[in-house]
Amino acid sequence: MSRISRQVTIGGFDHVQAVNIGGGLPPFIQTMWKDRLSFSDLEGKAGQDLIERINTLKNLGCGLLRFAVPDLDSAALIGSLALMVSMPIVADINYDFKIALRCLDFPIAKIRINPGNLALHGNDGKKKLEAILSKAASASRPIRIGVNAGSLSSDLQRRIEEKSLESAEALVLAAEREIAFFNEFGFNDLLVSMKASSIADTIKANRLLAGKSDVPLHIGVTEAGPLIAGVVRNTTALMVLLGEGIGDTIRVSLSDSMENEVIAGREILRAVNEMAGNAEGTHGAMGVTIVSCPRCGRSSFDTHGFTGRWQNRLYAMYENITVAIMGCTVNGPGEARHADIGITGAGDKVLIFRHGEVVRTINAADADTAFEEELKNFYH
């Protein structure tokens, strides 16, 4: 039986889209902006390109977009960006609690704080935390408690080194401490993440806390590596947790593009649904299914290049169809007969087919144009 966490609403004010997390709702996909921005990036053509890319991420299935906010100037910058887009923007805060307070002056939908490096304990720390929680509550802004294995408090680090405490248990203890502080102040609009680069620690920590608390959980393997390694490591952990009903938002952390993080998250959610026999889908997991062959010596069509050109565009479509991109007639209309629409090589020609029946034969140079035309015809 799936874990039912409390529901938290992110956004839903001014022009910002509302995202409901937890409460038995399907998990949302999020990603994090990869580059540091400047105010010039918000202006003119650069600003238009920035908004277009954010809209692309949204169309691919991203529900939340997080930005690092290392200083007060960055808080004003991300705050200005939040005025320009409808996607809920999340501010990632480390080291200085004043940055969190400044972010709350803008329509930034949520803030994430790292308790391990914000020094929120002790009398002075409690005053800082109370200031953050008071302002967040007044502005109806949720907070994510982001516990990180690399920035645990010194006492927990020492116990790990002494082997009197496992890393996963330390993550949970750190999270429970913060939850207790939040509860003391009567602040309930919170989420928790416990990030580790270890698959085993990620699974164990989230299992432990899921059994003790109804706080919504953001899950993922951090510092997971480049595209292939990162997808494998995240898939291994997330398939286990999501299969047990644990996880309200996910991020597939990759040393790769944001678009690939979102697509990977979408495919993981789709796989969880498939394993569970759930045809209803989840946020970001519905839409086009792309099947494509790996290419071999029989191939007469550049499946890799075509898939690269069409991947984001196809994933931005929310029609529930299967698109096949195949290299030869063996894998084309035959093995991909189940596809709603597909394209494949056939000698020096390219075939476009529907449910295994060829509807068009063209030259390779015309493949993109013809496929676009047939895709449009498919819906008319």
Query: Domain containing 228 — which CATH number?
Result: 3.20.20.20
Task: Kindly report the CATH number assigned to the domain that includes residue 367.
Answer: 3.30.413.10
What residue spans of the chain are helical by DSSP H?
44-60, 72-82, 97-103, 115-118, 122-138, 154-161, 167-184, 199-210, 227-243, 258-276, 303-315, 367-378
Strand partners, 330: none
Q: Indicate the residue among 243, 276, 309 that finishes a domain.
A: 276
Q: What is the CA 182 to chain-centroid distance, rounded?
A: 25
| pLDDT for 284 | 54
Examine the fold and report which residue of 276, 306, 330 is the final residue of a domain before the chain moves on: 276
Q: Specify if 1 maps to a domain.
A: no
CA distance 146 to 148: 6
Note whether 237 and 194 are within 8 A (CB): no
Q: Do 170 and 24 fall into the same domain?
A: yes
- What is the reported pLDDT for 380? 65
> What is the structure's pLDDT at 280?
53
User: Could you tell me if 254 and 299 lie in one domain?
Assistant: no
pLDDT profile of the chain (380 residues), mean per 10: 88 94 95 96 97 96 96 97 97 92 97 80 79 95 93 90 95 94 93 95 97 97 94 97 96 96 96 80 68 82 91 89 85 78 88 92 94 86
Residue 284 resides in a domain: no
Q: Which residue segment(s) compose the domain that 161 sits in?
A: 8-276
User: Quick check: is 365 in a domain?
Assistant: yes
- The structural domain count of the chain equals 2
pLDDT of residue 254: 96
Evaluate whether 210 touches 158 at the Cβ level (below 8 Å): no
Do 101 and 231 share a domain, yes or no?
yes
Do 99 and 140 belong together in one domain? yes
Cα torsion angle, 74, 80, 84, 85, sign = positive
313, 282 in Cβ contact below 8 A?
Answer: no
Question: What pTM did the predictor assign?
Answer: 0.91
Q: What is the pLDDT of residue 245?
A: 95
